[in-house]
Amino acid sequence: MNWNTSIRQIHRWLSIAFTVAVIVNVIAMMQEKQAAWVGLLALFPLILLLLTGLYMFVLPYAAKWRSARGISG
Range of the domain at 16: 3-72
The predicted structure's pLDDT at residue 8:
93
Q: How many domains does the chain have?
A: 1
pLDDT tens, N- to C-terminus, the chain (73 residues): 688 899 999 999 999 999 999 998 888 888 877 777 887 888 999 999 999 999 999 988 888 887 777 666 5
DSSP type of residue 41? T
Question: What pLDDT, on the 0 to 100 scale, is given for residue 11?
Answer: 95
Alpha-carbon span 59 to 41, nearest angstrom: 29
Instruction: Give me the pLDDT at residue 30, please.
Output: 87
